[in-house]
Amino acid sequence: RAKEEGRNRLRLYKSELHQQLLDDSALEEALRRALSNGELRLLYHPQFDANDPKRLLGAEALLRWDNREKGPISPERFIPIAERSDLITELGWRVQELMCKDIHEWQTAGLKPPVISFNASPKAFREGKFASRLREIMARYGISPGQLQVEFTEGTLTEHSDTVYQEIRELHEGGIELAIDDFGTGYSCLVNLKRLPLAELKIDKIFVDGLGKNDHDEAIARATLSMAQAFGLRTVAEGVETQSQLAWLQAHGCNRIQGFLLAYPLETEAFQSMLQSA
């Protein structure tokens, strides 16, 4: 009996796995089509001065995919699928293209957008040509250095690849700021803080969630803030949803706040209106 049950469970598991693979490859194909059928767009998540939460200091470009049949699909779902294929490279270029186009439009309208951050996958750094390709796109839209920041996670750094360090150097020399995203959630050595030309550390929502109620989350946030200060790096807290989290971050010297308490990620036009009234 037990054996029979085990076999059934295995069969069930196998068919779920099979279904998952089918779903993933269907999604991958749909995502490939999305690159040419206009289903991709960016939202901009505003970042504010922690000590003056009305003051806009930056924004993060976040990719969105609305599939005609399946509806909106979360980046938490489609980015990992893209990462497993060559699609992530194409998506990365598309994000840079859309972002530069938007910035160009805002500037043409006489506005002064703050530094815009975008997310780059580990693959972008490992393949090479990341910095040079970005430079090309920026030139095409007349975007000057100093206007952009690239966010990457610790996972980008685990292989200690020369190509990765070369790209980082090239981006930095080209005037692109560098930020470590989701700091403290991945595997990387702290020596990177010393060795890399970083501008910013982003404190992940999983730690921010515990501020004011979990000693361990507070200890991690406090340590991150104090290391950042020692290294002269800016800090941004992500996922700030409550007034008490904001108060904690203000009291502990965090520089910037990004979270639903202050704003949701905005459509291009809504972000432009925010710039107009800033």
> Is residue 259 at the binding interface for ligand C2E, with CB under 6 A as the rule?
yes
Spatial CA neighbour of 103 closest among 275, 244, 218, 233 = 275
Q: Is 151 in the site for Mg ion (CB under 5 A)?
A: yes
From 6-14, 74-82, 161-169, 267-275, span contacting ligand C2E (CB under 6 A):
74-82
Over the window 182 to 201, marking each residue x when it contacts Mg ion by CB under 5 A and - when it does not, the resulting string is x-------------------
Interface residue with ligand C2E among 2, 4, 71, 74 (CB under 6 A) is 74
Residues 117, 72: Cα–Cα separation, whole Å: 23
CA distances from 87 to 40, 53, 113 (A): 13, 37, 29
Residue placing its CB nearer to Mg ion in the complex, 4 or 187: 187
Helices of type H across the chain: 2-34, 75-83, 87-108, 122-127, 130-141, 162-173, 191-195, 205-208, 215-231, 243-251, 268-277
Q: Rule CB under 6 A: say whether 113 interacts with ligand C2E.
A: no
Q: Which two tokens stand for residue 31?
A: 């995502």
Give min distance, CB of 204 to Mg ion, in A.
6
The per-residue DSSP string of 222-275 comes to HHHHHHHHHHT-EEEEE---SHHHHHHHHHTT--EEESTTT---EEHHHHHHHH
Q: Which stretch binds ligand C2E (CB under 6 A): 15-23, 26-34, 113-121, 140-148?
A: 113-121
* Residue 56 CB, nearest approach to Mg ion (Å): 17
Minimum CB–partner distance for residue 37 and Mg ion (Å): 26
DSSP state of 85: S
Instruction: Report residue 149 as tokens.
Output: 């920041």
Among 102, 181, 200, 217, binds ligand C2E (CB under 6 A): 181
As measured in angstroms, the least distance from the Cβ of 234 to Mg ion is: 14
Task: Report the nearest approach of Mg ion to the CB of residue 118 (Å).
Answer: 8
Residues of this chain that interact with Mg ion (CB under 5 A) are 119, 151, 181-182, 238
